[in-house]
Amino acid sequence: MAEPFIRIESLVKNYTRDTQVLNVLDKLSFTVDSGDFVALMGPSGSGKTTLLNLIAGIDRPTSGRIFVGPDEVSAMSEAALAKWRSANLGFIFQLYNLVPVLTAYENVELPLLLTSLSRARRRKQVELALTVVGLSDRMAHYPRQLSGGQEQRVAIARAIATDPKLLVADEPTGDLDAKNGEEILVLLERLHHEFKKTVLMVTHDPKAASRAHRLIHLDKGVLKEDVHAARRSGWRRRWRPRPTDMIPGVSRSPRAPHGAPGSGQRS
Ligand SMILES: Nc1ncnc2c1ncn2[C@@H]1O[C@H](COP(=O)(O)OP(=O)(O)O)[C@@H](O)[C@H]1O
Ligand SMILES: [Mg+2]
90 lies in some domain: yes
∠ CA 104-154-93 to the nearest 5 degrees?
A: 125
Domain count, the chain: 1
16 lies in some domain: yes
Residues 104 and 146: their CA atoms lie apart, in Å, by 9
Q: Are strands 214-219 and 37-41 parallel, antiparallel or unpaired?
A: parallel
58 lies in some domain: yes
The amino acid sitting at 114 is: L
Residues 107 and 127: their CA atoms lie apart, in Å, by 12
Residue 99 confidence (pLDDT): 98
Query: DSSP string covering 87-117, please?
Result: HHEEEE-TT----TTS-HHHHHHGGGGGS--
117 lies in some domain: no
Ligand 1 atom nearest 218 alpha carbon: 22
Residue 2 confidence (pLDDT): 67
Residue 227 confidence (pLDDT): 58
CATH number of the domain bearing residue 200: 3.40.50.300
Q: What is the DSSP letter of 47?
A: S
∠ CA 251-69-222 to the nearest 5 degrees?
A: 30
Residue 260 confidence (pLDDT): 38
Q: What is the DSSP letter of 51?
A: H
Residues 225 and 32: their CA atoms lie apart, in Å, by 12
172 phi, psi to nearest 5 deg? -65, -20
Cα(25) to centroid of ligand 1, in Å?
Answer: 10
Q: Which residues of 174-184 are buried (b: 16+ CB within 10 A; e: fewer)?
A: bbbeeebbbbb
128 lies in some domain: no
Ligand 1 atom nearest 17 alpha carbon: 4
Ligand 1 atom nearest 43 alpha carbon: 22
42 lies in some domain: yes
139 lies in some domain: no
- Encode pLDDT of 211-250 as tens digits: 999 999 998 888 887 655 555 555 544 444 343 333 333 3
Question: Which listed ligand is nearest to 219 at the C-alpha?
Answer: 1
- Encode pLDDT of 188-213 as tens digits: 999 999 999 999 999 999 989 999 99
What is the pTM assigned to this prediction? 0.85
Q: What is the DSSP letter of 58?
A: S
The segments of the chain whose pLDDT lies below 70 read 1-2, 226-267
Cα(138) to centroid of ligand 1, in Å?
Answer: 35
Q: Give the distance, in angstroms, between the CA of residue 183 and the centroid of all CA atoms in the same chain.
A: 17
Residue 251 confidence (pLDDT): 35
Cβ–ligand 1 contact at 203 (below 6 Å): no
Cβ–ligand 1 contact at 150 (below 6 Å): no
Cβ–ligand 1 contact at 45 (below 6 Å): yes
Question: Which listed ligand is nearest to 41 at the C-alpha?
Answer: 1
**Atom 3 in ligand 1: which residue has the minimum CA distance?**
15
124 lies in some domain: no
What is the domain extent for residue 192?
6-99+164-259
118's CB contacts (< 8 A; 6+ apart) are none
